[in-house]
Amino acid sequence: MNEQNKECSMEKNTVDFDQINRRKAEIIHIAQQVITNSISKEQLEPILKEFLLHSQEDATDFLFVYGTLMRKHPNHSLMKGARFIGEAVLENHHLVDLGSYPGAIPGNKGCIYGELYIVPWTLISKLDEYESEGSLYIRSDIQVVCEDKKYWAMTYLYNREVSKSKIIFSGRWEKEPGFHS
Same domain, 34 and 68: no
Alpha helices in the chain (DSSP H): 2-8, 17-35, 41-54, 121-130
Same domain, 91 and 135: yes
Mean pLDDT taken over the chain:
83
5 falls within a domain: no
Q: Calculate mean pLDDT across residues 21-47.
A: 79
- 65 and 41 in a single domain? The answer is no
Whether 80 and 95 map to the same domain: the answer is: yes
Q: Are 87 and 116 in a shared domain? A: yes
The pLDDT value given to residue 181 = 36
72 and 49 within one domain: no
Which residues sit opposite 131 in a β-bridge? none
Q: Give the pLDDT confidence of 87-128 residue by residue, as tens digits.
A: 999 999 999 999 999 999 998 889 999 999 999 988 999 999
Is the pLDDT at 176 greater than 60? The verdict is no
Q: How many domains does the chain have?
A: 2
The answer to whether residues 105 and 45 belong to one domain is no
Task: Please tell me whether residues 69 and 32 are part of one structural domain.
Answer: no
Report the pLDDT averaged over residues 117-142: 94
Residue 54 is predicted with a pLDDT of: 59
pTM over 0.75: no
Range of the domain at 37: 15-54
Q: Is there a single domain that holds both residue 81 and residue 96?
A: yes
Burial (CB < 10 A; 0-12, 13-18, 19+), residue 167, is middle
In sequence order, what are the residues at sequence separation of 6 or more whose Cβ sits closer than 8 angstroms to the Cβ of residue 95? 66, 102, 103, 104, 110, 112, 167, 168, 170, 171, 172, 173
Last residue in a domain, options 54, 82, 103? 54
Q: Are 43 and 94 contained in the same domain? A: no
pLDDT in the model for residue 14: 45
Asked if the structure places residue 8 within a domain, the reply is no
Q: Report helix, strand and coil shares of the chain as percent, to nearest 5.
A: 30, 35, 35
CATH number at residue 69: 3.10.490.10
Average pLDDT, stretch 139-161? 94
* Structural domain includes residue 65: yes
* Model confidence at 39: pLDDT above 90: no
Which positions ≥6 away from 164 have C-beta within 8 Å? none
**Structure confidence at residue 15 as a pLDDT band (50, 70, 90):** low
115 phi, psi to nearest 5 deg = -130, 145
Neighbours of 61 (CB within 10 A): 18
> Based on the domain organization, do 73 and 142 belong to the same domain?
yes
Q: How confident is the model at residue 55 (pLDDT cuts 50, 70, 90)?
A: low
105: in domain: yes
- Residue 18 phi/psi, 5-degree rounding, is -60, -40
